[in-house]
Every structure is written in C-alpha cells, then in structure tokens.
Chain A
Amino acid sequence: MARSVTTRQKVIATIAAWTVGLIIFFPILYTIITSFKTEPEAIAGFSLIPSGTFENYITVQTQRDYIKPFMNSVVLSVGSTILALIIAVPGAWAMAFSPTKRTKDILMWMLSTKMMPAVAVLVPIYLMFRDFGLLDSRIGLTIMLTLINLPIVIWMLYTYFREIPGEILEASRMDGAGLWQEIVYVLTPMAVPGIASTMLLNIILAWNESFWSIRLTTVEAAPLTAFIASFSSPQGLFWAKLSAASTMAIAPILILGWFSQKQLVRGLTFGAVK
C-alpha cells in the first residue's frame, strides 16, 4: 500500500479531469467555433467544424469599432485596480498587523456595502454623476469600479497579509529595523504574490462589470460590455455575429487569465487557505 502512483491511476485521473475540463469549457469553445460559422450554419444543428469564415469578425468590426471600447476596458479595469490597491493596501496592512477587537466587524461591514442592489441606486447615482459632470467619463467610471470592488480587494489583501508570520516582524524589529525598512525589505517581498493575485482578480471583476459600465457611459468611456450590448438580441437571430463579438470581448481577459493563471494560483495558495 505504498503511495506510489501507478500509470493506470494517472491515466484514469487524466481522462476524468480532461472530461470535466472540456465540459466546463465547452460553452466557450462552442462560441469560438460558432464565430467562424456562417449564420445559417450557426442554427443548422450541432457541428464542431465551422466553414472557417472570417466574415463575422469583419462585419462586427465594420458595424462597431472595437479598438476604442477595448482601450476603455483596459484603462478602466487597470486604472480602477491600481487605485483600489493604493487605497486598500495600507488599510488591509493595518488590519492584519494591528488587529483590534473590531477588525472583524469592520471587514464584515465593508463587505456589506456591496449588498445594496445596483438597480435600486441607479437613479440617485445617475443624478450625482450628472451634477459632477462625470457621465460618460473614464474618471467617473474608474471611481465607480474602484468603489464597488474595494471591499473585495481589502478582504483578499487582509487574508494574505495575515498569513505573513508575525515572528518575522518581531525578528526584524529586534534587529533594529525601522518601520519603513520593515515594510520595504521584509514584508513587501512576502506580500507581492498576494497583491498580484488580488490585482488580477480585480482586473477580471472590473473588466466583466456590466451594469454601471453600460449605464454610466455613452461614447467616450464605453467599454467592451457596451460593445456587446450592441450585438445582443438584434432583429433576427445572428448567433455567428454575436459569437464573434463575444469572442472579441472576452478574448483579451481570457488570454490574460490563462497567462497569469500560475500567478493567480500562487497568490491564492499563499493566503485565504489556512
């Protein structure tokens, strides 16, 4: 009964895992395949082999420019993430290293700010944005995205920071390190994986946010979620075109996610676990 893995076990695990993985991935895969079909093909029944037309992508691009919403999505998601991190890192740090009796309550309260349904506050927020001249501005939407994701960012950072052993701090203090030295040389290296994975997670959340990003923008600040809204449910079924537009909208973040997958996992391993 030694715990050595036989090839047979490995093959079984491989088959099982790939089956599950492919089932979960299937809707995305099928969307990508459909985007290379013609419209009649798209509704002609199940088929994994498209005729390989690029027509849909060309049509989508001529109907609606992709570059500007794409740039907006990048600016908004990255900008709001950086802003959120600047605000959240010190806060989470303080909560993790100088916890008080109320720290837990403060954290829960922060999360509870997300409980108000967005639809219910649309009109008040819209009025505020109008008065401040923030409608259809990147700055306005960046602030919005920062605020709605801030609680999650603080929460995640807090759980990471808390895993950093306190003894290291004490040891470095004994060595006479000042607070800033402590932060720069001891804590930062340990915190970076956690910050990086928080950052990635938040970019994903901001990229996919599709209530405010449509409601508060018109032309200048409209990101890819608005791009999608101009292809969903048109008159007539245009699934191939919709698939092409969908693929274009999710591809950048999907690719980022795939490449940074290890980073994401490493960060999560570091915190949130034990």
Chain B
Amino acid sequence: MATQNTKTLARLMMAPSVLLLLVWMVVPLAMTLWFSFQNYNLLDPSNVGFAGTFNYEFFYTDPAFFQSIWNTLVLVLGVLFITVTGGIAIGLLLDQPMFGQGIVRILVISPFFVMPPVAALVWKNMIMHPGYGVFADIARFFGLQPIDWFAQYPLFSIIIIVAWQWLPFATLILLTALQSLDSEQKEAAEMDGANFFNRFIYLVMPHLARSITVVVLIQTIFLLGVYAEILVTTNGGPGYASTNIAFLIYRTALLGYDVGGASAGGIIAVILANIVAFFLMRAVGKNLDR
C-alpha cells in the first residue's frame, strides 16, 4: 500500500536514530578494536605500541576465563529463570481478585526503582550478612547455624540479588499480558471442563510467549554486563566462583589499567554476546514475528 512518498518519509524519520546509533556503535567499537591491538597500559605510558593479537591471547588464556564464561551463562540463565517463573507466578496471583491489589502491585514493583549499588549494599549488609543480616537472625531464631552466603554460595547469592532487581520488570510485563487475556476465552475454557493446569498450558502460556520473549531479550542484554553487584559483594571470589566476563574486564581495566587487554576483553565479550543472541533469536525470536 505504501507509496514511494511515504517510504522516503519513513526513511527520513528513521534516519536520526539509525545514524546516531550507528555512530554510537561504530566509534567506540572502532576505538576498542584499535586499542585491542595495542600495548597500552595507563600506568605505563612509555610502553605503547602495536601488540598484534597478544591482548586477545592473554585474555582468553586467563586462568579465570572459561570459568567466567560459565559463570556469566549461569548468572544470566539463573536470573532469567527466577524472574520469568516468578513473574508468571506473581502475575497469576495478582490477577486474582483481592483486597488492596493496587498496593500489592506497588510493593512488588518497588525493587525496580532501587539503584543497583544500593541494592547490592542492602542485600550484602542487612540481609545476607552472616553476623548481622536478617537471614542470619532467622536462622538463629530456629536454632540453626547462619549460612555464610557469599562464601558458600557466592554466585547463587549474586543471582538472588540481581533477580530481586529484575523480578518487578518481568512481573510488570507478564502481569499486563495476563490481564489482556480475554476473560471470555478463560470462561469458555472453564466451561469445557479444562482444569487449571490445562488452561495454563494451552491458553495462558501461548498468550504469554511474546511477552516472555521481550522480557528475556531485554534482560539478557542488561544481565550480560552485570559486575557492580559482584564488586560490592564478593570481589569475584572466593577463588573465581563469582567472576564473570564483565568482572574479568573490570579487573583488567580498572585494577590493572590495561586498556589494551580490557579492549580485547570487550571485543571478546561482544562476540560472545552475539553468539548468545544468535541462539536466543533462534530459540525465541519467532515469537516476535507473530
């Protein structure tokens, strides 16, 4: 239907955002690529020069490299699992008629408004601290030995903190999706004698597929870069148990001030992220086309 005219107009309208993002992608990417082939340590300006592929070799032969990839995947998948299942469950719950629904909704989405460093500090100091945290108080109340979260389950603790921050986002989108489900359809299914489980599988889940895709896509992009929570709580340890790719780059960039190495790490991270995105798109991408 579209005429040549509207097509040109559409191009014109898209131009600013496309051009800006192109510049925003190309310039840092080009600079990072350039630096990744250089010997460039901020603290050692005398030793600057072409490094070949050495920075890359150095980054992927890091003793923590493979574990950090694994940790990155576990972190992303763990948080996605908790937020999506939790989001659906809470969404279903909040979709029921109840007293004070508005207030409950406010309580549930509140963590989204908390800045990440604050969230990490609060969880570390006041919730999970083995001496003074609320979890320790609860454990002692039941006569149990308090769990030392960041020593015994470092990655899991970080997953909990990050999942807490992202649960509201997932809940919000999934809840609104549930609410848009035709109540007539639901009633019809009930008339047909479908039990809750069948209704959920054949009616609710297909309806939610697209929203879940949106949640997964957007969260994955943010979750791949999580490092502030790790820095505040475990510093990547004990051992490399909570070191992910982003933290590894942080260590190279802001403790070692090795710009070349960090740039190589950044490029590697982008490549890995694209591989993840590729599989992600194959797995869930078709939901977007409906």
Contact = CB atoms under 8 A, between A and B. Distances in A.
B14 A90 contact: yes
Interface stretch (A51-59, A62-70, A184-192, A265-273): A265-273
Contacts of B126: 27, 30-31, 34, 239, 243
B279 interface: no
Contacts of B80: none
Given A10-B98, A20-B93, A21-B107, A91 B221 contact: no
Contact of B107 (A25, A124, A170, A211): A25
A24 B164 contact: yes
Interface in A8-40: 9-11, 13-14, 16-18, 20-22, 24-28, 30-31, 34
A98 B7 contact: yes
Interface in A81-118: 87-88, 90-95, 97-98, 104, 106, 108, 110-118
Interface string A239-253: 100110010011001
A14 B21 contact: no
B180 to A, nearest CB: 5
B266 A121 contact: yes
Contact of B10 (A11, A97, A159, A250): A97
A134 interface: no
Nearest to A214: B117
Interface stretch (B24-32, B62-70, B149-157): B24-32
A249 B115 CA distance: 8
B78 interface: no
B201 interface: no
B107 A112 contact: no
B114 A108 contact: no
A179 B2 CA distance: 12
A138 to B, nearest CB: 19
B17 A88 contact: yes
A154 B19 CA distance: 13
A21 B104 contact: yes
B277 A115 contact: yes
A34 B123 CA distance: 13
A78 interface: no
B42 interface: yes
B110 interface: yes
A261 interface: yes
B241 interface: no
B113 A273 contact: no
A21 B210 CA distance: 25
Interface string A167-200: 0001000000001000000000000000000000
A14 B100 CA distance: 8
Contacts of B245: 117
A123 interface: yes
A256 to B, nearest CB: 8
A5 interface: yes
A13 to B, nearest CB: 4
Most chain A CB within 10 A, of B9, B13, B259, is at B13
Interface string A206-233: 0110110000000000001100110011
A151 interface: yes
Interface of B: 1-2, 6-7, 9-18, 20-21, 24-25, 27-29, 31-32, 35, 42, 90, 93-94, 96-119, 121-123, 125-127, 131-132, 134, 137-138, 164, 167-168, 172-173, 175-177, 179-180, 187, 190, 207, 210-211, 214, 217-218, 221-222, 224-225, 227-228, 232, 245-246, 249-250, 253-254, 259, 262-263, 265-267, 269-270, 273-274, 277, 281, 288-289
Given A5-B97, A46-B134, A250-B113, 13 more contacts: A17-B93, A18-B100, A20-B93, A31-B122, A95-B14, A98-B9, A108-B277, A115-B224, A115-B277, A119-B246, A119-B266, A120-B263, A254-B113
30 contacts: A10-B97, A13-B93, A17-B94, A20-B90, A20-B108, A21-B108, A22-B107, A25-B110, A28-B122, A90-B17, A91-B13, A91-B15, A93-B13, A106-B14, A108-B281, A115-B225, A117-B224, A119-B253, A119-B262, A124-B35, A147-B21, A150-B24, A211-B228, A242-B125, A249-B115, A250-B113, A261-B105, A265-B105, A272-B173, A272-B210
